[in-house]
Structure 1
Amino acid sequence: MSTEFDSTGSLPGTETGPLNADRIELSYSKTPIAKGFGSLGLSAALWQSDVFANSEASRPACPHTHMIETCLFGGGESSLFIDGRHLFHRRIVPGSTALVRAGEAPRSVTYSACGQCMHLYLPDKLLQQSATEEFDCPGSVELQQRGLQEDPMIAQMGRLVAQELEAPSGGSRMMLDSVSLAVTVRMLRTWSSLSEGTDLNNASGLAPWQQKRAIEHIQSRYCENLSIADLAAEARLSPYHFIRSFKRSVGAPPHQYLTRVRLERARVLLETTNLAITEVAFEIGYHSPGHFARLFRRSYGMTPTAYRRERNT
């Protein structure tokens, strides 16, 4: 699960700034397969490990950011040391998840590795804000160091992020924001001092004016890389409350509704214009015709080309 970093690398600036995908890449001079940044502060990097053995990586502590590392496929054998203390020596399999909390200095020793892993860089500020707004938790919440755990939900969200990051546009900010909040809630529920039975705050649906403004914003700017923060500001809500309230009112989370709007527009363009499939994809906000075609087929059971042919016969 560990990546083949130069063990002599340093990470300048972590004492005063957040850890993120750019800082890791700069420090270790290793380029991830893909990386992305949400508007809420979480960033992510997808790393590929070819078959190798006996590498070591260290970095100084960052007091502002937690790092969640999950194996997406492949595996290996690795040890992790935190602040000089041996935490685990385990076989890594898909779904294996480890946490480096803000303020901890990790050193990993990888004996063998092959596959892909996802790093999620979670600002502590986002964690604390979510604990307050989602769980009505007063005071500070601490993540608990649990060593290496099987967490299929984190791995599943990591795969969703990987799919987004590998798109030519670098991924949908709205999707990354949605996953950011889902990851944060997951960490609070299962990796923190909060009990698993702690209930989420009840969220009502959007007020009619909030729903109207949010939907109009999506429908008028669907071709842009919108973020949850953009929409939440229109409704004058926090991102946390907005996502849950929007889903309750509309029946789908914002990123799914945005996809629905884009694909409906694509159907109109396919039926009424001679634009090439690539041009249709660009027109509705997708930089990858292949990504657009996959989404279209998933929704309508046929490719855009087949859809156009069927409608024109």
Structure 2
Amino acid sequence: MTIPSGSGLTHERSIGWTGGCFALAFGAPVVSLERSVECALDETFSQDRVDDASGVSCSGLTPTKVERIWGVAAKAHGFGTLGFSAALWDCDRTSGQTVERLRPSCDHTHVVSIWTRGTTVSELYFDNKLRFRRVRRRGTFQLSRAGESLRVLLSETSGSCLDLYLPVSLLASVVGTEFDYGDGGRLELLPLKLEADPVITRLGDEMAAEIERPGVATQAALDAAALTLCVNLVRRWSNLSGVVRPSRAGLTTAQVRKATSYLKDTMHRDVSLQTLAEQVGLSPFHFARAFKAAVGVPPHQYQIRLRMMRARELLENTMYSVGEVATQVGYDDASYFSRVFRREHGVSPGQFRRAKVS
């Protein structure tokens, strides 16, 4: 394992790394290790506050910062434009060994951890107090609220975990704009145990697939996921559940026309939710909800549809190769473009072209 410079971690405790987690033998003392990790986190936060992978100013947890602290790369990670980010961690099966994951407290970030594949027996401690010991299965999630330290013991582990890093300021902004509820100062997320939520399960599956095979619309997809997660947390897992109602203000016809025209003109490149919202003078959260209500799909899905429509035209009316068509509509990876095309149209680009020719 790579030890972060100046972290205070040494090899004296026979610490191993297994699938993205610290692995210690049963009964091994961990107090000094936890303090050392906290020192590493403090050092990481004292560095430049612009995350080097996303370019977004951020004083909280991000995949890149957690990688520095743990000294290992995530299987995949992705960054939105609003401070929201995601990391996919693999945890390999262990035999006769407990896998331990330590994450010191951070006042700026909530972390939603979704088990996306396999099973594990989990024992979770928040602020050094046991909250639960249960079997984690695909689709279950846990919430680490800002300010809480986390210690997880995993045994009989085989699977993957997706961590979603949600800035406190982002959640408060959603409460203030999406729900017309001031600045979000009264919002408190509930102290959850291991939970199941179909919206969060679906979100985990979509984000894991998105960051493993990033495409032109990955940033926009992460921005949209941030909004979905925020709204769901407020509605179902906060002290405001059942109290606040979403704002009903929508888009005017002129705003819809301006937004869709902008997406058409920029279909070949990634467009952030922030940039789109600025075109019609709205907040990203209000715009995303209102756009879906007016058009029927989120902005990034609408952009994908525009690309696929243009791809159909090029396949039917030009001699461009599939790779050239992919580049024309904004995809650097022809294989990824082909998968998206098949998902949208039920056939591969080559099959579509042959059917039109015949």
SS of 2:93's equivalent in the other structure is strand
Distance 1:209 1:171 in 2: 24
2:210 alignment partner in structure 1: 164
Distance 1:93 1:224 in 2: 37
Distance 2:328 2:235 in 1: 40
| 8 Å contact kept, 2:140–2:197 | yes
Once the two structures are superposed, residues 127-186 of structure 1 have per-residue CA deviations (whole angstroms, 9 ceiling, x without a partner) of: 111111122223331111111112232121011001110114486111111111001111
Distance 2:194 2:145 in 1: 13
Distance 1:103 1:142 in 2: 12
| 8 Å contact kept, 2:188–2:239 | yes
1:105 alignment partner in structure 2: 149
Distance 1:277 1:4 in 2: 41
Once the two structures are superposed, residues 193-234 of structure 1 have per-residue CA deviations (whole angstroms, 9 ceiling, x without a partner) of: 112363211122x22332222112111111111111110011
Distance 1:298 1:197 in 2: 39
2:230 alignment partner in structure 1: 184
Q: Structure 1 unaligned runs (5+)? A: none
Q: Which amino acid aligns with 2:238?
A: S
1:42 to 84, 102, 112: 84
1:196 to 232, 242, 249: 242
Q: In terms of mean alpha carbon deviation, does 139-148 or 174-183 score higher?
A: 139-148
| 8 Å contact kept, 1:68–1:120 | yes
Once the two structures are superposed, residues 248-292 of structure 1 have per-residue CA deviations (whole angstroms, 9 ceiling, x without a partner) of: 322322112101110011011111222221221122112332322
| 8 Å contact kept, 1:128–1:140 | no
Equivalences, count: 311
| Structure with the larger RCO, 1 or 2 (CA within 8 Å, 6+ apart) | 1
- Percent identical among aligned pairs is 36
Cα distance, 1:208–1:153 mapped onto 2, change above 3 Å = closer
Q: Which amino acid aligns with 1:30?
A: V
SS of 1:222's equivalent in the other structure is coil
Distance 1:40 1:304 in 2: 34
- After TM superposition, the score normalised by the length of structure 2 is 0.82
Distance 2:340 2:91 in 1: 29
1:246 alignment partner in structure 2: 291
Q: Which amino acid aligns with 1:167?
A: R
Distance 1:71 1:287 in 2: 30
2:137 to 93, 96, 104: 93
| 8 Å contact kept, 2:274–2:284 | yes
Distance 2:343 2:104 in 1: 44
Q: In terms of mean alpha carbon deviation, does 252-261 or 133-142 score higher?
A: 133-142
1:76 alignment partner in structure 2: 120
Distance 1:209 1:104 in 2: 45
1:120 to 158, 164, 173: 164
